[in-house]
Amino acid sequence: MEFPSRFFVTGTDTGVGKTLVSAILMTGRKAAYWKPVQSGLETMTDTAWVQQMTGFSDHLFVPETYRLSQALSPHAAAVEDGVSISLSAFQLPDQDRYPRLIVEGAGGVMAPLNEKHFMVDLMKYLALPVLLVARSGLGTINHTLLSLEKLRNRGLDVFGVVMNGPKNRINKQAIETYGGIRVTAEVETLSHIDGRSLAEAYAQYFR
Ligand SMILES: Nc1ncnc2c1ncn2[C@@H]1O[C@H](COP(=O)(O)OP(=O)(O)O)[C@@H](O)[C@H]1O
Ligand SMILES: [Mg+2]
């Protein structure tokens, strides 16, 4: 599979495996990682989790633009912290310093950032190609087709879908047929997550 050198990882929902898939791709592609909006600082942040699991050093991790304390939708977490999220605050990390970059969104495509903008607007603002992570099981066809429609409506280039969880041939076929897109990989449940299993997952699922 040919990957763009820098891309945005979104998902059909929160908890679908964006961070895990980002960690696999980071490991396999020796890419840097950036989570522009982190909501929730009480438990481990996505950046800290990816760093711990991959074991990669600090220079491959771009600091978050917004670090919001509550684990809420970005628009609500921002209100709680008394800040407002502005698209112009986001700056795509330097191409020379981070030639390979994986950017992980918060929640799904329509997670609000403020009163006017949604996660999809951030993708558009950063002008990156998009990889959509979807769960493999029941309900995924609807969520995936809706997400694809929204992304394409905004003129974003969606270059693939990663299905995460126990393989489901019928759902994969439906997403490819109705969505007009290739399922790039079907990532199964990893029994253990560390640098080695992430590298193995990349070799097994993405090559
Ligand atoms: N394929 C997988 N194998 C093992 N654990 C997984 C897998 N996919 C997701 N998880 C676990 O499920 C939880 C949610 O996944 P995560 O990647 O954090 O989702 P998201 O970033 O979309 O919110 C995490 O604890 C993650 O480690
Ligand atoms: Mg995540």
Tokens at 195, concatenated = 């640098």
| Spatial separation of the C-alpha atoms in residues 163 and 144, rounded to whole Å | 10
Of the candidates 150, 156, 148, the residue with the CA atom closest to the CA atom of residue 182: 148
Ligand nearest to the CA of 136: 1
- For residue 83, the 8-state DSSP code is -
What are the two backbone dihedrals, phi and then psi, of residue 200, each rounded to the nearest 5 degrees? -65, -40
pLDDT at 159: 98
**Ligand 1 pocket test, candidate residues 20, 168, 197, most atoms within 8 A of CB:** 20
41 in any annotated domain: yes
Q: How many domains does the chain have?
A: 1
Whether 14 is in the pocket of ligand 1, judged by its Cβ within 6 Å, is yes
CATH code, domain with 94:
3.40.50.300
Max CA-CA distance within the chain? Answer: 46
Tens place of pLDDT for every residue, the chain, 207 residues? 789 999 999 999 999 999 999 999 999 999 999 999 999 999 999 999 999 999 999 999 999 999 999 999 999 999 999 999 999 999 999 999 999 999 999 999 999 999 999 999 999 999 999 999 999 999 999 999 999 999 999 999 999 999 999 999 999 999 999 999 999 999 999 999 999 999 999 999 998
**132 within 8 A of 162, measured Cβ to Cβ:** yes
Domain assignment present for 149: yes
Atom of ligand 1 nearest to the CA of 187: 1
Tokens of 139: 């309900």
Say which amino acid occupies 128: L
Is the Cβ atom of 25 under 6 angstroms away from ligand 1?
no
Inter-axis angle of helices 140-153 and 169-179, nearest 10: 20
d(CA 98, CA 161): 24
Q: Is residue 1 part of a domain?
A: no
Q: Which domain holds residue 67?
A: 6-206
pLDDT of residue 171: 98
Residue 128 lies in a domain: yes
Looking at residue 166, the DSSP 8-state letter turns out to be S
Q: Ligand 1 pocket test: which of 8, 9, 18, 19 has the largest number of ligand atoms within 8 Å of its C-beta?
A: 19
Q: What pLDDT does residue 2 have?
A: 84
Both tokens of 115, joined, read 């009163």
